[in-house]
Amino acid sequence: VWVYGGEEECYAKGQVLSLDDSKGTVSYRIKVAGSTRDVRADSVLKANKDRQDGEMDNTFLRELNEASLLHNIRVRYNGADDGGCYTVTGHILIAVNPFRDLSIYDEKQIKRYLGRPIGSEPPHIYAVADRMYRLLASTNESQAIVVSGPSGAGKTETCKLVLRHLAYVTKDVTAAGMSKSSMELGSLLVMTNPLLEAFGNAETVLNRNSSRFGKFTQIHVSRKGAILGASIQTYLLESTRVVSQSANECNYHIFYQLVNSPDMAKHQISSDANKYTYLKSASGKATPRRGMDAKEFTVVSEVIDSIGVSNDVKLALISTISGLLHLGNIKLSENPNGDSYVSDMSELQLTSKLLSTNEGLLLQGLCSRTMKLKGSEMQIPLKPHEAQNSRNALAKAIYSKIFSWIIQQINSSLMDPNTKLDGSGILGILDIYGFENFEKNSLEQLFINFTNEQLHQHFAISLFKTEQEIYASEGIVWPGVDWEDNSECLDVIAGKAPSSIFNTLTEHSRLPKSNDGEMTEKLLADQRKSKYLFPPKLGKHGGPGGGGKAQRLTNKEAFVISHFAGQVIYRTEGWLRKNTDTLHEDLQLCMSSSTSPLLAQMFSVGTINAITGGSKGGSKRAGFVADKYARQLDELMRTLRCTQSHFVRCIKPNHEQKPRVFKDKLVLDQLRNSGMVDAVRLLSAGYSTRLPFNTLEKQFKPLCPAKFQSLPPAEFCVALLTAFNLSRTDFLLGLTKAFFKSGKLA
């Protein structure tokens, strides 16, 4: 059996010595690693025999539970086979980051999986990618692959492998009237990754190349299997990273690539990252880099050329990135009146030159704001901290627009406007952040966890559909099972009721004198009967596992949501400011009057919505971040619901990024947060153990009398299971497999 030993130990293998039910509850005396323990029955799960260690498909395990799932993944990961980083549970692929180069991704491996049904070859991302493409080609039903996991789990690399497979299988397929061939479009999709990573990825403590945004790539495929074009939609770029980073973390790659580029001096940039405020982390120093920035800058420059950006615009882009670094160096001091002023005009002059803005307008926009009264205007000086916030808001706004503009340029290169998409299908690749629960959780974590709640619901519904198809393919009637619907939790966060979190946040963002505390109190009062949202209890620094002195968070400071993956405490400090996605009018005017071909386009009134994804028509809610994100996510979910979805759960085995190091607690938390443990429970409610007839024959026929050995596979299995005295409710026989209730084939 497996014995749960708490958060740190997770599960240890033991042997039952005795059972005691004399006190009204069942408990076991178990021998574990030479010692004896008395444990409650709910801390014990059945284990499989050692011969089942390392099964490629977890549904082949005769005992399927979270302990056996964790153990089997660990055994495969620590094995000698490079393919051990992959395990499947039915059609769900679990990919554990190996943190080393493997020999299983070359062209020979792509060919190995071409046209092969799932299960006929060892688990692999190429198997999932090939199944997607073949299903689209044969049924014309759109397909999507959802790749999720925490930072450093390998999501980005997994998506690259899907694109590599797709580029290979479509290289010889052509479509009439296309300006680019399938091979060119497939190669371009792969080739644009360095540009996306330069502007959207950053080095963190846990991951050298961490994606700081979500991405959904839609690839349009003709009925003959040719790529017609593609588009990329992004979600939740972490704009705060542009102006501040935690200790030992970095800003976006592009800044360091520019600092280390051969042409840095030409762009008014020093090679010393410590000279730039925006490149210094909370430690006070620039974090040493682990990448090859100079070489990568050259690659990024080549990609920009390849997607059709003119040289003038490319130079304007580089100049703008340089200008952002110098913008962060503008010193805003306090004068005798307590108002802000720029104490070093040289940095402001250089910033203005690089951004091609009017120096006077930039100075005015940083140190004051215009207040409009009846028929007149007056300048209101900003305090130093207000001026710093204003400067940082400008930096974040410029960078966010640059990122959106880059996505727009990539999409233009991937989709010919004259291409006819009638009758084409879609292959979607969703690279999305996993569930988060930190010591301090803010609005960003709520957005991420709301996304995961939506995807968890989609995952459960898709799993039901896939299970039905598996049973149907074996000629078995689907035995319906119950599952816990999370619709109520979704409604609490973003439902139509005025009391939902997003609606409450928007309402208080509109009110001129509201504050975060009032909003939080109102939310808790309105949701007092909800089982998914409630006040915070005594905690350590507001999050799980936080050290230090315990403190009580008040109803003005935080609330708790009970998510599918566990309870999360959200601190609401700064939420109203974060939700109001606006730049004050003086700085908007300054940027829109820029002579830069890039900034003038980005900040002109007619193109702001196109570049930022805002709502057209001047909706009253258009400027609120939560509403924008809810609309984006709603559109994504509608798209996913129209596809047959495939799921890849990327797992990070250790924080040190070392090969062959597997931390049980870390992995088990991810299996729970990804919904895999819930999936196991759902499967176990049906017939979770599936064994091919030939497996049963191979194991038991040699032990049977001669007359049994001559029976055909299906008849032999019926005779065998009848001899085992199994009830007909304990198993089902399909065309090629036997389906068992969990634990019934021990």
Question: For this structure, is 452 an active site residue?
Answer: no
d(CA 436, CA 451): 11
The dihedral sign for the CA sequence 566, 567, 569, 575? positive
DSSP 304-324: HHHTT--HHHHHHHHHHHHHH
Q: Is 156 a catalytic residue?
A: yes
SS3 at position 736: coil
Query: How many CA atoms within 13 Å lie on the side-chain side of 5?
Result: 17
- Tell me whether residue 298 is annotated as binding: no
Tokens linked to 191: 């080739």
Helices (H), 170-224: 182-191, 193-200
- Which of 210, 437, 451, 674 is the catalytic position? 210
Asked if residue 156 belongs to a known ligand binding site, the reply is yes
Which pairs with CB-CB distance under 8 Å and at least 24 residues apart come from 169-173? 169/110, 169/114, 169/130, 169/133, 169/225, 170/133, 170/221, 170/225, 170/226, 170/227, 173/222, 173/224, 173/225, 173/226, 173/227
Element (H, E) at 17: strand 15-20
DSSP 25-91: S-EEEEEETTEEEEEEGGGEE----GGGTT-SBGGG-SS-SHHHHHHHHHHHHTSS-GGGGEEEETT
In contact, 717 and 733? CB cutoff 8 Å: yes
Contact 556, 508 (CB under 8 A): no
- CA-based R_g, the chain, Å: 29
Task: Estimate the crossing angle of helix 443-473 against helix 625-641, to 10 degrees.
Answer: 10
Residue 383 DSSP symbol:
P
Please indicate if the annotation marks 154 as binding a ligand.
Answer: yes
Give me the catalytic one of 156, 204, 437, 509. 156
DSSP element (H, E) containing 717? helix 713-723
How many CB atoms are located within 10 Å of the residue 138 CB?
Answer: 9
Secondary structure of residue 674 in the 3-state scheme: coil
In Å, the largest CA–CA distance within the chain is 104
Query: Which one from 90, 152, 225, 686 is the annotated catalytic residue?
Result: 152
Q: Which of 63, 66, 296, 436 is catalytic?
A: 436
22 is catalytic: no
Q: Report whether 153 belongs to an annotated binding site.
A: yes
Tokens describing residue 711: 């029976």
Burial of 493 (0-12, 13-18, 19+ CB in 10 A): buried
In contact, 277 and 328? CB cutoff 8 Å: yes
Ligand-binding site membership of 90 (annotated):
no
C-alpha to C-alpha distance for 203 and 219, rounded to whole angstroms: 29
Whether 434 is a known active-site residue: answer yes
Note if 436 is an active site residue: yes
Taking the C-alpha atoms of residue 704 and residue 536, their distance in angstroms, rounded to an integer, is: 63
Spatial separation of the C-alpha atoms in residues 394 and 242, rounded to whole Å: 11
Q: Are 281 and 246 in contact (CB under 8 A)?
A: yes
CA pair distance 122, 112, nearest whole angstrom: 10
Let me know if 152 is a catalytic residue.
yes
- Give the whole-angstrom CA distance, residue 97 versus residue 21: 44
Q: Of residues 151, 239, 504, 689, which has the active-site annotation?
A: 151
Distance from CA of residue 178 to its chain's centroid? 33
Q: Is 149 annotated as a binding residue?
A: yes
Active-site residue, selected from the candidate residues 142, 182, 201, 207: 207
Residue 151 annotated among the catalytic residues of the structure: yes
Distance CA 279, CA 273 (A): 6
- What φ, ψ does residue 517 adopt, rounded to 5°? -65, -45
Of 58, 158, 211, 424, which is the active-site residue? 211
The span from the CA of 2 to the CA of 13, in Å, is 5
- Tell whether residue 323 is among the known ligand binding residues: no
Q: Is 210 a catalytic residue?
A: yes
Contact 611, 404 (CB under 8 A): yes
From 90, 428, 434, 543, active-site residue: 434
| Residue 676, CA distances (Å) to 64, 65, 364, 637, 679 in order | 12, 10, 55, 20, 5
Query: And the tokens for 6?
Result: 């708490």
Q: Indicate the annotated binding residues.
A: 149-156
Binding residues for ATP: 149-156
Q: Any idea which residues carry the catalytic annotation?
A: 151-152, 156, 207, 210-211, 434, 436
